[in-house]
Amino acid sequence: MNTIKHRPVDVVIVGFGWTGALMARELAETGLNILALERGEQRDTWPDFAYPRITDELTYGIRLKLFQNPARETVTVRHTSADHALPYRRFGSFLPGNGVGGAGVHWNGMLWRPRETDLKMHSTVTERYGASTIPADMTLQDYPVSYQELEPFFEKFEKICGTAGQAGNLRGETVAGGNPFEAPRRAPYPTKPLKQQYAGQLFARAAESLGYSPFPIPAANCTEAWKNPYGVQLGVCNYCGFCERFGCFNGSKASPQSTILPSLRQFSNFSLRTQAQVLRINTDASGKKATGVTWVDEQGVQHEQPADLVILSAFQLHNVRLLLLSGIGKPYNAQSGEGVVGRNYAYQMNGSLNLFFGEKHNFNPFAASGVTGTFIDDFNAGNFDQSGLGFIGGATIGAATSGGRPIQQMPLPAASPQWGSGWKKSIKQHYLHTMTIGSSGSVMPYKQCYLDLDPTYKDVHGQPLLRMTFDWQPNELKMTQFMQGKAEQIARVMGAQQVESGFMKPGDHYDVRPYQSTHTTGGTVMGDNPKNSVVNKYLQSWDVHNLFVLGASVFPQNLAYNPTGIVCATALWAAHAIRTQYFAQPGPLVQA
C-alpha cells in the first residue's frame, strides 16, 4: 500500500481528548510545531452540542452517538486466562469516547484530588496493617510521584475547569462543610459548590446524624462566571440534566471544547487532523527512539508522520493497545509475572441502593448536573480503621443524581411488572419519588487481571483487538459488601418505604452488560523502575525516551474516586517536565 509521507513535526499527539488537548495547549507556548491526530470527528459546543437537539436521550444516551462505535473497534473479554475471550459486542459496562474532546465531552464532571495516602497505597497498607495483609496475587504499588509534587497541577486543572466545590482542608486547616479527609490544598475551589437536590439534602442529614461528614461533590460544572487560566470564559451550570453521555450546550461543564480549544486555536503552530486513526508508533532500528506514527485516514489511505516527540494520549485501553501493536515495552506475561505492558489492569467497584419513598417526596431527578449530590469519605481507604476487615481499599458513599432520563434513569422495584398496565402504574408511582445511594469503590491490581492482544478478533483495519482478562476478586467483593452495610445504615435513617440493593455479592462475576463506569485503568502504569512500570514519574516511556503516555493507563491501581483529576493533573505535570527538563536535554528524565 502506498503511504503518504509528511514533513516532520516537532510533536505529534495521538488522541485529542482531555490529556491530548492539555498537552497541546501547554506545549503550544514553546512555538514548536505541534500536530494532533484524532481518530474521530471534529466536534464543538456549537453546533454539535447545541440546545435543544442535544436533549435527545435516544440518540446520545442509548445509541451513543458521541462514543466509540464497537462495530469498528472493541475489546474482547474473559474472566480468567483459562477462558476463551469473546468480543464486547454491545456496549454496556464501559463506554470509551471518540472524537475531539474524547470522553471529556460526555463525562459527568466529578473532579477529585487523591489523598496523600492514595498515591502511597502500598506503603500505607504495609505500615498500618502489615505486608502480610496484602494477598499474594495483589500487585499493589505506590505512585512514583507524591501529592505535594502534583498539588500545583491539581490546582491548575481545577482552575482550567472553573471547578465548583467546598474546600475541606485549606493549607492544613479543616474547613466546615468540605471533605475533612481532603489532602491540603493551597487554594479554595474556583467556584461555589453546586446546589443540592432534595436527595442530597436528605442524605446529608442522615449521614450527619450518624456522625459522618457529608460534603458536596467536587464538580467540573462551573457555578459562577469564571475566566480560566487560558483566558477562556465558562458559562454557569443550569442543571439541565444532560451531562452524562451528552456534550454541554451551556459551556459550563468542563470539556476540552469549553476550556481549552478557544485558546489553543490562537496558536498557528498547532494543527489538528481528525478522522486520523493511528495504527502504530514507529521506532528506529535501535527500538529506543520513536520516529513518528503511521496513521490511516477516512479514505483508508496510510500516512507516515515523522516527529521528534510522540505523545500517546488516547483512551486508557487504546494506549495499551497501541504500545502492544507498536512493540514498545515488554508485554506482560501473566504466567511468569514478567513484562509490563498490559499489567495491572483495574476498574471500579460500584454498588447502589434504590430508595422508593412514595409520592410525598419529590426528588425531581431531571433537575441535575452530572455531579449534583452529597458524598461521605468516611469509608474511603485510609480514612478508617480497616484492621481485621479483610480487604484493602475503600469507597465513597453518597447520593448523586446525574439526571432523570426516562429510558435509562428510572429505577423500579424488582417486583414491579416489566410491561402492561402494571408497568405504567409503576413508572408513574416511582419516577419522581425515588432516589439512589451509591458507593464508588477502589479496585486493586492482580497478577491475573491484565490486557493483551486477542489472537482471533480484529478491528476494522485488520489489527488485533485488545483482550481484557478480568474478574471481580474476593478483596473487592468483601469491600463492596462492607459498603452495602454502611449504605443501608444511612438508608434506614432516611426512612424510605422500600430499599433495594444493587451491590455485588460474593461469587458474582464481572458482567459486561449493565453500565458500571468507564474508569478502566492501568496497563501502562507509572512506577519507580522499569520492572514494575511502563513509564517513569514524568509519564515518559522507560524504553523510548521521546514517548510520553498520558491517561488512566498510568494508574498502578484504581481509587474509589473517579479518575479525571489524576489523569489531567499528571498530564499537566508531564507537560511541565517536558517544557522545563526534556526540551533542554532530551533523554531519560529518570535513570532506570
Partner 1 sequence: MVNHDDVAHGRRRFLHQSLALIPLATVVGRGVAPLSAQAAPVQGVSPGPVPLWFNPREWRFIIAACGRLIPEDALGPGAVSEGVPVFIDRQMEQPYGYGQLWYMQPPFAEAIPELGYQSPLVPREIYRRGIAAIDQHCQQHEQADFADLKPRQQDALLTQLEAGELNFSGLPGALFFTQLLENTKEGYLADPQHGGNQTLASWTLIGFPGARADYQDQMDNPNKPYPLPPVSISGYRGRSA
* Closest CB to partner 1 among residues 214, 241: 241
The answer to whether 134 and 125 have CB atoms below 8 angstroms apart is yes
Cβ proximity to partner 1, 87 vs 188, nearer residue = 87
Alpha-carbon distance of 217 to 375, in angstroms, equals 6
Give the count of beta carbons closer than 10 Å to the beta carbon of residue 391: 23
Number of CB atoms found within 10 A of residue 69's CB: 14
3 is a site residue for partner 1 (CB under 8 A): no
Catalytic residue among 361, 430, 519, 545: 519
Least gap, CB of 529 to partner 1 (angstroms): 36
Q: Minimum distance from CB of 275 to partner 1 (Å)?
A: 17
Q: To the nearest whole angstrom, how small is the minimum distance from the Cβ of residue 508 to partner 1?
A: 9
Length of the chain: 592
Q: Kindly state the smallest distance separating residue 449's Cβ from partner 1, in Å.
A: 15
- For partner 1, the closer CB: 209 or 456: 456
Site string for partner 1, 362-401 (x = CB under 8 A): xxx-xxx---x-----------------------------
Return the residue matching grid coordinates 521506532.
Answer: 283
Give the footprint of partner 1 on residues 65-94 (CB under 8 A): 69-71, 74, 77-79, 84, 86-90, 92
**Helix, strand, or coil here: 522?**
strand
Could you say whether residue 421 binds partner 1 (CB under 8 A)? yes
**Known catalytic residue at 519:** yes
Instruction: Answer for the pair 510, 472: CB distance below 8 angstroms, yes or no.
Output: yes
Under rule CB under 8 A, residue 414 binds partner 1: no
Query: Quick check: 425 binds partner 1 (CB under 8 A)?
Result: yes
Judged by CB under 8 A, the stretch of 21-29, 51-59, 140-148, 259-267 that binds partner 1 is 51-59
**Of 170-178, 298-306, 357-365, 484-492: span binding partner 1 (CB under 8 A):** 357-365
Scan for cell 491539581, then name that residue: 154
With respect to partner 1, which residue has the nearer C-beta, 337 or 406? 406
Alpha-carbon dihedral 482, 486, 492, 497, rounded to 10 degrees: -60
- C-alpha angle 36-42-43 in degrees, rounded to nearest 5: 120
- Calculate the alpha carbon distances from 333 to 81, 557, 589 in Å: 11, 18, 27
Beta bridge partners of 501: 353
C-alpha to C-alpha distances, 105 to 3, 24, 172, 558, 577, nearest whole angstrom: 32, 17, 34, 22, 27
CA distance 533 to 556: 8
CA distance 321 to 466: 6
Among 335, 440, 333, smallest CA distance to 108 is for 440
Is 458 a binder of partner 1 (CB under 8 A)? yes
Nearer to partner 1 by Cβ, of 431 and 450: the residue is 431
563-592 residues in contact with partner 1 (CB under 8 A) are: none
Residues 494-553 that bind partner 1 (CB under 8 A): 509-513
Distance CA 89, CA 444 (A): 26
The DSSP bridge partners found for residue 281 are: 293
Nearer to partner 1, 57 or 142 (CB): 57
Instruction: Give, for 37, the enclosing helix (H) or strand (E).
Output: strand 34-37
Pick the piece of the chain touching partner 1 (CB under 8 A) from 176-184, 265-273, 387-395, 415-423.
Answer: 415-423
Nearer to partner 1, 153 or 510 (CB): 510
Which among 189-197, 495-503, 530-538, 562-570 is the span making contact with partner 1, rule CB under 8 A? 189-197
Q: How many residues bind partner 1 (CB under 8 A)?
A: 66
Only one of the segments 237-245, 311-319, 527-535, 551-559 lies at the binding site for partner 1 (rule: CB under 8 A); that segment is 237-245
Q: Is 49 in the site for partner 1 (CB under 8 A)?
A: no
Is residue 245 within 8 A of residue 98, CB to CB? The reply is no
Phi, psi of 386 (to 5 degrees): -100, 10
Element (H, E) at 155: helix 147-161
Q: Which of 112, 431, 482, 538 binds partner 1 (CB under 8 A)?
A: 431
| Subset of residues 239 to 258 that bind partner 1, contact rule: CB under 8 A | 239-242, 249
For partner 1, the closer CB: 42 or 55: 55
CA angle at 581 for the pair 580 and 586, rounded to the nearest 5°: 130
Give the contacts of 123 (CB within 8 A, at least 6 positions apart): 142
Q: Compute the least distance from the CB of residue 56 to partner 1, in Å.
A: 5
Cα end-to-end span (Å), the chain: 39
**What distance in Å separates the CA atoms of residue 5 and residue 341, rounded to the nearest whole number?**
29
Cell numbers for 105, please give them: 465531552
Q: How far is the CB of 237 from partner 1 (least distance, A)?
A: 9
**46 is an interface residue for partner 1 by CB under 8 A:** no
Among 146, 238, 387, 529, binds partner 1 (CB under 8 A): 238
Residues near partner 1 (CB under 8 A): 51-53, 55-58, 62-64, 69-71, 74, 77-79, 84, 86-90, 92, 195-198, 201, 238-242, 249, 361-364, 366-368, 372, 404, 406-407, 410, 418-421, 423-425, 427-428, 431-432, 456-458, 509-513
Q: Which residues are catalytic?
A: 519
